[in-house]
Structure 1
């Protein structure tokens, strides 16, 4: 396509006067999508997090509404009672019991959603980075009696509380950092081997992960090499390799090949990999999340968001995807949660992608039937990047022509601000050639992400009826002056379950297809509108505190007694 043709689609991606679009901007790099090459079914690999669930004794947490987890297809948690007042095993058995209760509550909450639970025994022990200087560690003074008793106690309690299903035993967290392992490296290696053998004997069917280093592997990392040598030489190979991608860690496109080389050098097998903490605090925004999710999906790795809360905050807010809303008295999602919600809706087949050469822009994409969805974001930068999409013929399109593209923008205003559903920037037909589409995307901030939806030329993205649920509910408690039946093909904006339930409690509207659409506007000059698809006579108006839809004779819309329906404040 020409960049002038693309301008009409992506003008909304730019911040500033329209005149800024008059000239083509040179992209800083190009990320690519190959629709023709599948890499497996959608798995939502990055939809986990560390801690994030409120403790509720030993019971399931009920304070965070279920839909906030289900809507993002939450699938894994990692916890072990860290940073609660009880000090853990190192401070006495009673301290261990309280931490185990915390882990049990988090386990039960995770399993309610069908997620895997990665247990953190270092937190049960009490080495949670805030322990006192006199805290004992496994193997102190060459005595392993206490740590052996600890591991066997944990195993017994896991069995007694029916915690084996969906369990992963993560032997020790970030042992190369002194705040988590304040002893010699040799003592850690000996502990790891002993712990692996004890857990394998006590819990033969339970998966073990390790080493969960803070540092990603490199070919010359001495502790990675010595640990790999130790597990190879002692037949204590974990079922799941694990490490963290945080701070200035190299991207997975570089790390994974190096790790595979290390496995060959140490004669070790390829096994599943957990990136069981990802994203530094400043990188927990929609744009950065797209970057990490894209890398995880490309390399088929499970990922859990890092949690940077402390104390009680560590045990809350789904690792800063939601927050306590003082206005509602409940939890609300922030801008990043909406990104994960969209990611969870990316069903179908994952397709091949590649990041830009500077490793600052990345994409994730799926194909379902004749449609494709693409997430695009950046890492730490704002600016202009190109997204090149090849293989359009997979969508039933010819090798050249035009394709409908809908664009959504994901905004960010901090971890404690609900910015609402992604902004729908509309649909346009975009020209392409050689089976390839080129999109020039300007990211207005280093936190902004975009989604692009592509469909064949015969697909009409406009629904027969659109209702902006958020706009309706914004007027306060609402009632219909008359019952209104929209039919099965109607669609609404912002159909999150709590808002949909709120509307259904006051109206006769049945459950609708969940899909973001632009708010209904007054009819176009030619008389067409989204409500009636050309029949005419439909518009939305606001007068004071009253919202009115006047509906024309649209097929599938049943309007009893009157053609105007009002939503007004009850107060």
Structure 2
């Protein structure tokens, strides 16, 4: 053996020993524990996107100029709910002789909604003055006198006609959260108000879309059951049944409501969770995507809740339901959840949820891609989440592999310029399926997975 070869061997041995020593002192990275799993069956699909979960209550400035129209149209907003709450307080609204300012806002809000193809829900309670902040010197039907309420409804009917707001893109939301402090009288008086108001509106505008009860309760609540029995018995069933999940599960609630309707021989044209997402964690990206998924499961419309109050920052009149930053109007992580939701095209595809995670998936053979938006229930488990795609179509996995782009929408109450790319690589298709593993370390984050050939 030559001296040169011997020196080379000694060098290799020394390097091997050094490498072994380095490995010995490196910290061992613990594997992420398996936490949940979801399965997408790409052979089961049907239905085009409606973006019905993209909506919010209030969220625009009182002159409706901010946030920008672009921030709204990019997420394909479909539902906007408002009635001029807090304007003119402590003595705003019709019952205080200060209706005009609130109606002018409603008109402006409607004009803005039309720019993104959204429908507007007029909250009659707020037009009256019941907004949780303003003085309410009297309520409809006090002392058995309904004259003021009749005049109030006639005022709105006349203004709606004059403003071209009589079509199906306007829903008449009869009152807001009448089971709590937004209604200051008995349920019996509330129900009589609903009867009178519904008959009056339908007589004047036969095509009007009536919505209710928009309660702060679930459909299985005894208050809601009493409401159902009353509207059926009195022939004033609304077109849309609505309630609030703060928090809650729209899919479970809708299943319960369907059972209640079937038991009574009732039917309506749709459900609307017109406030969803409790203050704080539930309005972050992960829970936002989870709510979108649950709303899509029950084919329910939805509007994000808004927790802004008078004198607070953010206020009721900005952030689009905490999608953009206050005043600066910059996109946050949860706005990007809705943007990725808005980017879904093609056909809705079956996804089996996990115990704490869910998603909405579409596949588009023309665009040759599939986009999934995935979320986690507030308080969900964290760790390794598997997403298995079964029955992959040939236009995606026909070559034996598929490109998988995984993006994260981070939870932060600050500006986020865009989703973070977690990985963008090819994955082997085996048995016509592919499995994507996400190390989901923060349940408040959301993820998007895009498959392309």
Q: Deviation of residue 377 (structure 1)? A: 1.6
1:45-444 mapped onto 2 (5 Å cutoff): 45-56=52-63, 61-86=64-89, 87-89=91-93, 91-93=95-97, 95-132=98-135, 135-165=137-167, 166-177=169-180, 179-218=181-220, 221-247=221-247, 249=248, 251-282=249-280, 283-311=282-310, 313-324=315-326, 331-356=329-354, 358=355, 360-369=356-365, 370-380=368-378, 381-384=380-383, 385-393=385-393, 395-397=395-397, 401-414=400-413, 417-444=414-441
Q: Deviation of residue 270 (structure 1)? A: 4.1
RMSD of the alignment, in Å? 2.0
User: Compared with structure 1, are the counterparts of its residues 91 and 407 closer, same or farther at alpha carbon in structure 2 (3 Å cutoff)?
Assistant: same
Is the contact between residue 89 and residue 96 of structure 1 (CA under 8 Å) also seen in structure 2?
yes
For the residue of structure 2 that corresponds to 1:44, the secondary structure is coil
Deviation string 1:38-67 (CA, Å, 9 cap, x unpaired) is 1300111111110111122xxxx3343221
Is the contact between residue 75 and residue 341 of structure 2 (CA under 8 Å) also seen in structure 1?
yes
For the residue of structure 1 that corresponds to 2:143, the secondary structure is helix
Higher-helix-fraction structure: 2
Is the contact between residue 285 and residue 333 of structure 2 (CA under 8 Å) also seen in structure 1?
yes
For the residue of structure 2 that corresponds to 1:430, the secondary structure is strand
Q: Deviation of residue 443 (structure 1)? A: 1.6
Task: Provide the residue aligned with 1:34 in structure 2.
Answer: 41
Is the contact between residue 122 and residue 128 of structure 1 (CA under 8 Å) also seen in structure 2?
yes
List runs of 5+ in structure 1 lacking aligned partners. Answer: 1-16, 457-571
- 1 CA distance for matches of 2:402 and 2:197? 57
- 1 CA distance for matches of 2:39 and 2:28? 28
- For normalisation by structure 2, the TM-score amounts to 0.87
- 2 CA distance for matches of 1:310 and 1:436? 49
Q: Deviation of residue 26 (structure 1)? A: 4.1
List runs of 5+ in structure 2 lacking aligned partners. Answer: 1-25
- How many positions carry a matched residue from both structures? 418
For the residue of structure 1 that corresponds to 2:34, the secondary structure is coil
Deviation string 1:337-383 (CA, Å, 9 cap, x unpaired) is 12211111111111122321x3x211111101132111112112251
- For normalisation by structure 1, the TM-score amounts to 0.70
User: Compared with structure 1, are the counterparts of its residues 43 and 124 closer, same or farther at alpha carbon in structure 2 (3 Å cutoff)?
Assistant: same
- 1 CA distance for matches of 2:265 and 2:451? 45
Is the contact between residue 81 and residue 120 of structure 2 (CA under 8 Å) also seen in structure 1?
yes
- 2 CA distance for matches of 1:383 and 1:195? 49
Task: Provide the residue aligned with 1:490 in structure 2.
Answer: none
Task: Provide the residue aligned with 1:43 in structure 2.
Answer: 50
For the residue of structure 2 that corresponds to 1:205, the secondary structure is coil
Is the contact between residue 66 and residue 318 of structure 2 (CA under 8 Å) also seen in structure 1?
no
Deviation string 1:180-237 (CA, Å, 9 cap, x unpaired) is 111111111111111111111122112111111111212xx22111111111111111
Is the contact between residue 254 and residue 271 of structure 2 (CA under 8 Å) also seen in structure 1?
no
- 2 CA distance for matches of 1:230 and 1:124? 25
Q: Deviation of residue 255 (structure 1)? A: 1.6
- 2 CA distance for matches of 1:112 and 1:275? 23
For the residue of structure 2 that corresponds to 1:274, the secondary structure is strand
For the residue of structure 1 that corresponds to 2:109, the secondary structure is helix
Q: Deviation of residue 396 (structure 1)? A: 4.8
- 2 CA distance for matches of 1:186 and 1:324? 40
